[in-house]
Structure 1
């Protein structure tokens, strides 16, 4: 059955590459072709989840490129494929007239294919390759409309931030090899020798937190909102940001092996869930609110991974994927129709476009964690695991759940209020609105909304036990009845407070509100603490290279030229002069030697006589 596995990853990657290169003449066929490919991929994902295939191929000496579908990756491949299909079906309407839709659908399939490789990879080198392709595809998708400079800059910021964190995977690979894990199999990483075990763990944690937009890397997700709404729907739900959380859930044994990594990851998730939830509360831009809520909701998955709650984190991941993709698609439908994403301007949007409004309302109430919707049960699974890490961790998670209810109900309150007298005054701030919702939007919105509402069954006793067996986490704790009641009470209380205060000013200091609205100034801090010192160091090294290294080379070259000129003078004045003097002397000797050669016999006789006389005198004198 390995053919199913190869089809699962080769089809989206191959078809994506082909569609991305499709010319404008065949663009009309691209949306339908992209959706058809996504449908086949979903079928392959379901088949792979049932049959659990595995495959491998030689990669490097002693290393293989391994792929396998086990319990956890079975859940992930179906989730990724289902969300991809829903998003691409929605995009067939939004991109019907886009002249570059071949590039868009191709990149989306490449993006999803890279995520499928990521969740099925069993060795670190293959995972790292897919990780890099996913980052590159996200850069191209965020900057899809690159002719607007702010969108190109946003793509660069998102890519460079995640790319900097991704270096942790390279560090982890090197440390694993140094620690004796030559195969680089993911399940063998906990066997690395100390201290390389700790180095590898730290590298993987940094890479995962960066990819999942956890603090302090969260700000890149705000910039990613410059991409088209279908990109946001896919990136914020089942791919990219979910990849880091998935990796931590996959490598819970590695976190446990170091002892320090589990608590550190759990607190990183809890702090992100709380802090970015407050950031979401302060937003007046709907997509920015949803982006901040993504970081916060992913924080619950990271909290679960740090607490050892693999089943709870998986439930949260699946339920959030359906919920958040539906919310982003609804926000995208309103952006296309009304040309704005500002909450005050979207007042009454749910009443004007009722199907989209109904889907958004159900999704937002699910995001709020209100019972009996899915994320209420999923959060309680996470909090049950967090309670094993201490009361403080549980309290932080519960507070983050209350904040989630606030920002979710705030969004619902805005879009469900009555239409103002002149609603058109706030429209068309982002783009020219069409004043209609594409017909292709309804089916994926309703499917995702239904999934968001009912996936909470995975937290019921029977399905929860099945899921724990599936992902190999049978001993995980389940929430007690009082925990379910407490979280429900907190969610309803926070939702009621948010409903009453949504239209009024926030009862917080203005400076705090500005900081939350600006995503805690995390990007400015990164520029100040990281980017500027690195650029300053680069400029210093460039100056050192120009003045010292290149200067030494130039001085050496000048010295060589001076030596060559001196050697030329010596050659011309001394060596060549000596040669010319010898030649002149030889010429004179030659002239002298020619003089006795007159051709007269008596002169030769006289010369011979003189020569004989000289020889006799020499003999006599020497004796």
Structure 2
């Protein structure tokens, strides 16, 4: 494949879903009937193009800002190759699920249009090599997520949920603009790979901006609660947004800019701690939920926390494997939750009791995905989580991460305890009712495919596979867990799952705590605390700052009055007196000049004038007078000579 063809493939990878989505949005309801097939075709085409691009590793660019690194540039390296395949495959599967899940009378063209644009934005995000490209994709992803979460805008609460998610992530996104400015000031270019070489304080500013933007997008502390609001969106949106796209984007960004985090020093440690604490806190929140989608949402933030932890400690291969494994597991579980919501009309855990027994094939796939989420060997998240933990040095951070890993088994076990429970007699469905509420075959196929991926990705624990992944990512030399660590984590996960399944009441106690309401994190996203903070700041301003300013102003005014009076009575009088004395002295000097100096000059001039006139008298021009004058002069000299002698 030539470089030109490879570049065209890379451009088509983004433009095919983006173009198809734009066309569907423009046509609107007129395209509802054909929107599903068009979306599936575009998503499958993108998956094929992703595989081709991953193998060819192409580059593509177009002029944009006219400065170094200011072009719209895409490229596929090892990390991008893994992510484009993951994103495109998950998006294609979720699109198939959406075709079967959406009601027939829904605005399908609008839904699939936004879904395809959302997918294209994520594909551009993971292949962007310049900050402008990343910003464009980042913004489109945020805007389309708002439209997708609030898709059923006519239902109360849907639009406000989309607004909450949008504004929260937008608050974090400001960090990306700050990072862009720091990159330009510190490096003179907007290339992502040059961020780590920013000079001086600009490197720290760029690291802070990237960190804030990533934490907001991935719903890490303190931005976590927007995940709860996002559950108001349709099930396919939850399945895509929480698995391989928007929530994963922040984790990906930190993996991409890991050299910057390391170069700054503090940013890597900050990311590691935020990731570990998010995994712990949201793990506890997930264990306390009564709503399956809320449980899965909290667990999404918790699992992505391990990706953020991996980026913070510098194990990019482990973070990537965690990102991919989580995408498969969580997409499968969200599809299951959506399928059961459509079939059974509830997402409450109490209403899903025995759901796996009612739908055996879907239930088996859901159980397998839940076991993978718990970290049970030999499934995917068992291996990837231990890869992350292998990069964490001993100490408090490792203890927090281990506790968060154990909580994964708790909330996964809670799902299993409910869906595997015997069906109550009063909720049993007869054959006729079962026929009208069956899970469509395409949805079953999607669930089974995700469950298979969740199981097979556990191969990353095999030394050969793990080494190959590190080679692809250019992460050779990163630590790997030993057999003892893998066995210990597997035993803990199995023991916790068995305990929770056998004694579900142990976890039920958490439902009566503040953890059920997301540990108060939702309050961070409501106006109340900010209004209270504003009122407190206003009181401080009125009672402290204003009073201090007024006191300073009054003191300054009094001081100015004293200075003014001193100026009037002392300085001004002194200046006036001095001026008068100088005037009098000048008058005397003037009169002396006129009467003495000028008189003397005039007298001398008059004397010289008279002498000159006297000197002219002998000059008569008569020769006999000159002789007489000579004789008189010589006689006078003779007399003087005689007298003197």
TM-score range, shorter chain: 0.7 to 0.9
Structure 2 residue 445 is the aligned partner of structure 1 residue 440: no
After superposition, the Cα gap between the structure-2 partners of 1:143 and 1:535, relative to the gap in structure 1 and judged at 3 Å, is farther
After superposition, the Cα gap between the structure-2 partners of 1:138 and 1:311, relative to the gap in structure 1 and judged at 3 Å, is same
Deviations 1:498-537 (A, max 9, x none): 11221456456x8xx4311011111213436864268769
**8 Å Cα contact 2:379-2:456 kept in structure 1:** yes
Structure 2 residue 244 is the aligned partner of structure 1 residue 235: no
Q: 1:60 aligns with which of 57, 65, 72?
A: 65
After superposition, the Cα gap between the structure-2 partners of 1:286 and 1:173, relative to the gap in structure 1 and judged at 3 Å, is same
After superposition, the Cα gap between the structure-2 partners of 1:539 and 1:139, relative to the gap in structure 1 and judged at 3 Å, is farther
Q: More deviation in 135-144 or 17-26?
A: 17-26
Q: SS of the counterpart of 2:526?
A: helix
Deviations 1:166-219 (A, max 9, x none): 00001111112221x222111100111111111110011001001000011000
**8 Å Cα contact 1:348-1:416 kept in structure 2:** yes
Q: 2:451 aligns with which of 435, 449, 452?
A: 449
Q: How does 1:240-389 map to 2 (within 5 A)?
A: 240-387=246-393
Structure 2 residue 31 is the aligned partner of structure 1 residue 32: no
Residue 461 of structure 2 corresponds to which residue in structure 1?
Answer: 459
* Distance in structure 1 (CA, Å) of the matches to 2:274 and 2:529: 20
After superposition, the Cα gap between the structure-2 partners of 1:378 and 1:207, relative to the gap in structure 1 and judged at 3 Å, is same
Deviations 1:77-134 (A, max 9, x none): 0000000000011111112503301111111110000000000000011101110100
* Distance in structure 1 (CA, Å) of the matches to 2:63 and 2:412: 48
**8 Å Cα contact 1:212-1:298 kept in structure 2:** yes
* Distance in structure 2 (CA, Å) of the matches to 1:525 and 1:244: 20
Residue 114 of structure 1 corresponds to which residue in structure 2?
Answer: 121
Residue 48 of structure 2 corresponds to which residue in structure 1?
Answer: 43
Residue 513 of structure 2 corresponds to which residue in structure 1?
Answer: 514
**8 Å Cα contact 1:338-1:434 kept in structure 2:** no
Residue 532 of structure 1 corresponds to which residue in structure 2?
Answer: 531
* Distance in structure 2 (CA, Å) of the matches to 1:463 and 1:505: 36
* Distance in structure 1 (CA, Å) of the matches to 2:91 and 2:77: 21
* Distance in structure 2 (CA, Å) of the matches to 1:96 and 1:29: 14
Q: SS of the counterpart of 1:170?
A: helix
Would you say how many aligned residue pairs link Structure 1 and Structure 2? 527
Q: CA deviation at 1:284?
A: 0.5
Q: How does 1:93-112 map to 2 (within 5 A)?
A: 93-95=100-102, 97-112=104-119
* Distance in structure 2 (CA, Å) of the matches to 1:10 and 1:190: 30
Q: SS of the counterpart of 2:513?
A: helix
Q: CA deviation at 1:456?
A: 1.4
**8 Å Cα contact 1:348-1:417 kept in structure 2:** yes
Q: More deviation in 19-28 or 492-501?
A: 19-28
What is the TM-score normalised by the length of structure 1? 0.82
**8 Å Cα contact 1:213-1:295 kept in structure 2:** yes
After superposition, the Cα gap between the structure-2 partners of 1:88 and 1:168, relative to the gap in structure 1 and judged at 3 Å, is same
**8 Å Cα contact 2:150-2:233 kept in structure 1:** yes
Q: More deviation in 40-49 or 461-470?
A: 461-470
Deviations 1:451-501 (A, max 9, x none): 011111123111111111111110100101111111112112211221122
Q: SS of the counterpart of 2:219?
A: coil
Residue 414 of structure 1 corresponds to which residue in structure 2?
Answer: 418
Alpha-carbon RMSD: 1.9
Q: How does 1:214-233 map to 2 (within 5 A)?
A: 214-233=220-239
Q: CA deviation at 1:246?
A: 0.2
For structure 2, the 5+ residue unaligned runs are 1-5, 430-434, 540-645
Residue 482 of structure 1 corresponds to which residue in structure 2?
Answer: 484
Which structure has the larger Rg over C-alpha atoms? 2
**8 Å Cα contact 1:155-1:224 kept in structure 2:** yes
What is the TM-score normalised by the length of structure 2? 0.79
**8 Å Cα contact 1:64-1:183 kept in structure 2:** no
Deviations 1:352-377 (A, max 9, x none): 11121111111101000000111101
* Distance in structure 2 (CA, Å) of the matches to 1:528 and 1:34: 38
